[in-house]
Chains A and B, each alone.
Chain A
Amino acid sequence: MTIHTKMARLVAVLALGLFALFAQPQAAQAQDIVNPTAQSVTEDALLGALSGDAQVQGRVTIPDDLSSGLIKPGNRNWADTHGGPVRTTTLIAVVGMLAVLVAFYLIRGKIRIDSGPSSERILRFTSMERFAHWLMAVSFIVLAITGLNLVFGRAVILPLFGEGVFGTLSAWGKVAHNYMGFAFMLGLLLSFLYWVVHNIPDKVDLKWLSQGGGLFVKGVHPPAKKFNAGQKGIFWSVTIGGAALSFTGVMLLFPEMAGGEAGWQLYQVIHGIVAAVLTAIVIAHIYIGSVGMEGAYDAMGSGEVDLNWAKEHHSLWVDEVQSKQSQDGGEAGSRPTTQPAE
């Protein structure tokens, strides 16, 4: 070791000692104020302080604020709800309704026109009314099937057709569901405007309901206007349920509007449950409008129904139409609402 290196060492040691002399009190002072060990945030404390749908939040340096949430334990609750109660409700509603209808058909059979088909027909729904109905109906059926696919597809379609077919079907189904929603909303709005005046509940409905609508006993036909209480029930179910589905559906399509993840999750659960209940109601509606009742389909098919069918199911409405016709007198000829069947 040369004298030069010895000197260098001595200087270094002295410098260190000098530094320690000044630095030590400062460090001790700082330690009194901040103890990073004792004061560190712990996961347990943060999770324990969380309430409801809150999340452990921090700061990130990447330009994506959404990623600053570290742990969101509540998301598992939504996952459990979606995979549990929502799925179960849908299953019970849809399968239960199908079972009820099959039982009804087996016991009651097809509801016939008791007085037999007549030779006259009467216009029940104009082409615009039918357009509104079918716009809503076709879009609803597509929405219901693609929606049910999201709930049960993986249990039913996937094992039957395999991953490739199911994946492609579901991808197209998602696109259809996202865009058909707007056709449904238009149909819903038109139907509401056309029919709301005929769907205000009144005293006639009470009588209709007290007789079970004549659905369960042959030969019983409580009076009804353009829409009986059952149809009013369908109308308001579709109107209110459809409005709820439309609103929540738009929220799901535009997640930024849904008010964070908790908001989106709430809308998704509402959307699922309302859709399940409305689907069940609409299945019953489809049944009674097709195989369940003779002559009912014509109302939305050609728009013209059998006069005897109309007298049995909508007696007050027939009176109304016929008295209006006789008042109009000769003018009715240019707008034939009653004409012989072919």
Chain B
Amino acid sequence: MPRMKFLCDADRCIECNACVTACKNEHEVPWGINRRRVVTINDGLPGERSVSMACMHCTDAPCAAVCPVDCFYTTDDAVVLHSKDTCIGCGYCFYACPFGAPQYPRVGNFGTRGKMDKCTYCAGGPEADMTEAEYVKYGANRLAEGKLPLCAEMCSTKALLAGDGDIIADIYRERVVTRGYGSGAWGWRSAYGETVSV
């Protein structure tokens, strides 16, 4: 089985935000929720870099560890998904996540955040694959159709890579060797406890 990961090659990312838009459109993500975002580091300074970030589908996911109702599960592809039926909107996963991935429909006073929403790696949720019920709660299930996440698939500079961790790490490594520089596999240390060494 592949071990699905994201890798954003910040030296290619042009901060076009198309991944953000594609994600919102593909899954009809409501206002106020961003499953993916582009963060620009050292904005306006020499060496500025932009990184597209979403749920990294961690190894030993901390969100799953703190969830009081155990609503998270990891698929065979190592994608971290959750059940909105079980979620109580306590917000613990938000405070456990190193990437700010968990999103809530409302501001959290009095614990009225609503059910958590996050990147599903375009893999839906616990409902039967590609059903209306699954789409309404979690969005499209591209993985079940044999496709990779849309954000990475439509990235114009191929900065955002999705797929088996070993394969995308090889692609990134090859790029770094060829062009002679690389700002790193952003988030990998926190998510997978390792980075892509070149």
Tell me which residues across on chain B come within 8 A of A37, comparing CB atoms. 180-181
Determine whether A72 belongs to the interface, using a CB cutoff of 8 Å to chain B.
yes
Say if the beta carbon of B186 comes within 8 Å of chain A: yes
Q: Which residues of B contact A261 (CB under 8 A)?
A: 95
Across the two chains, which residue of chain B brings its CB closest to A154?
Answer: B70
- For the complex, what is the distance from the CA of A44 to the CA of B43, rounded to whole Å? 18
CA of A60 to CA of B52, assembled, Å: 10
Q: Please name the residue on chain B nearest to A150 by beta carbon.
A: B68
Contact with A along B18-31 (1 / 0, CB 8 A): 00100000000000
The CA of A34 and the CA of B187, in the complex, are separated in Å by 27
Contact B189 A47 (CB under 8 A): yes
- In the complex, how many residues of chain B place their beta carbon closer than 8 angstroms to a beta carbon of chain A? 60
Shortest Cβ distance from B92 into chain A, in angstroms? 7
Does more than half of chain B's interface fall in helix, strand or loop, or is it mixed? loop
Cβ contact within 8 Å between B100 and A60: no
Which residue of A38, A56, A83, A166 is within 8 Å of B66 (Cβ)? A83
B109 partner residues in chain A, CB cutoff 8 A:
253-256
A73: interface (CB < 8 Å): yes
**How many angstroms between the C-alpha atoms of A75 and B195 in the bound complex?**
19
Partner of B98, one of A64, A75, A167, A255: A75
Q: A61 at interface (Cβ–Cβ under 8 A)?
A: yes
Q: List the A side residues contacting B66 at CB < 8 Å.
A: 78-79, 82-83
What residues on A are CB-neighbors of B74 within 8 Å?
A: none
Given contacts A58-B51, A76-B62, contact A167 B183 (CB under 8 A): no
- When chains A and B are docked, how far (Å) is the Cα of A40 from the Cα of B100? 24
Alpha-carbon distance between A73 and B62 when the two chains are bound, in angstroms? 11
Tell me which of B32-40, B145-153, B159-167 binds A: B32-40
Which residues of chain B have C-beta atoms less than 8 A from A56's C-beta? 41
A58 and B88 contact, CB distance less than 8 A:
no
Q: Say whether A82 contacts B96, CB under 8 Å.
A: yes
Looking at the complex, which one of B15, B69, B186 makes contact with A71 (CB distance below 8 Å)?
B186
Q: Find out whether the CB atom of B11 lies under 8 angstroms from the CB atom of A268.
A: no
Cα A28 to Cα B89 in complex, Å, equals 56
- CA distance in complex: A46, B10 (Å): 14
Nearest CB of B to A71, in Å: 6
- A59 in contact with B67 (CB, 8 Å): no
Which residue of the partner chain A has the closest CB to B193? A76
A254 to B113, CA, bound (A): 11
Given A69, A74, A170, A175, which contacts B69 in the complex, CB threshold below 8 Å? A170
Contacting residue for A178 out of B38, B51, B111, B181, CB 8 A: B111
User: Beyond A76-B98, A170-B69, is A58–B39 a contact (Cβ under 8 Å)?
Assistant: yes
Q: Are B40 and A39 in contact (CB under 8 A)?
A: no
Q: With the chains together, A20 CA to B70 CA distance in Å?
A: 64
Pick the contact of A76 from B42, B88, B190 — CB < 8 Å? B190
Docked complex Cα distance between A39 and B83 (Å): 43
Tell me the complex Cα distance, A133–B97, Å.
40
Instruction: Check if B49 is an interface residue, CB within 8 A of chain A.
Output: yes
Report if A255-B190 is in contact (Cβ < 8 Å); known contacts: A39-B46, A40-B183: no
Q: Are B86 and A153 in contact (CB under 8 A)?
A: no
Mask, A146-171, CB within 8 Å of B = 1, is: 00011101100010000110110011
Interface residue? A90 (CB, 8 A): no
Within the complex, which residue of B10, B47, B97, B190 is in contact with A39, where a contact is CB–CB below 8 Å?
B47
* Closest Cβ–Cβ distance, residue B66 to chain A (whole Å): 5
Interface residue? B2 (CB, 8 A): no
Closest to B186 in A: A43
- Nearest-neighbour CB distance to chain B for A72, whole angstroms, equals 5
Please report which residues of chain A, range 245-275, place their CB below 8 angstroms from some CB of chain B when the two chains form the complex: 253-256, 261, 264-265, 268
Which residues from A are CB-within-8-Å of B20?
Answer: 62
> Which among B49, B88, B195 has the greatest number of chain A C-beta atoms within 10 A?
B88
Question: A259: shortest Cβ distance to chain B, in Å?
Answer: 13
Tell me whether B95 and A58 are in contact (CB under 8 A).
no
Bound form: Cα–Cα A38–B87 in Å: 46
- Cβ A41 vs Cβ B42 within 8 A: yes
CA distance A60 to B90 in the complex (A): 26
Interface flag for A36 (CB, 8 Å): yes
CA distance A44 to B181 in the complex (A): 13
Q: Which of B85, B89, B100, B185 touches A66 (beta carbons < 8 Å)?
A: B100
Residues of B within 8 A of A112 (CB): none
Q: Judge if A24 is at the interface, Cβ distance under 8 Å.
A: no
A76 touches B69 (CB 8 A): no
Interface string of B165-184 (1 = CB under 8 A from A): 00000000000000011011
Instruction: Please name 14 further chain A to chain B contacts, defined as beta carbons within 8 Å, in addition to the given A41-B42, A62-B34, A64-B34, sorted by A numbering.
Output: A37-B181, A59-B39, A64-B32, A67-B34, A70-B186, A71-B186, A73-B190, A75-B97, A79-B63, A83-B66, A149-B68, A150-B68, A164-B85, A255-B91
User: Nearest 6 A-B pairs (CB), nearest first?
Assistant: A43-B184, A79-B62, A39-B47, A79-B96, A58-B39, A154-B70
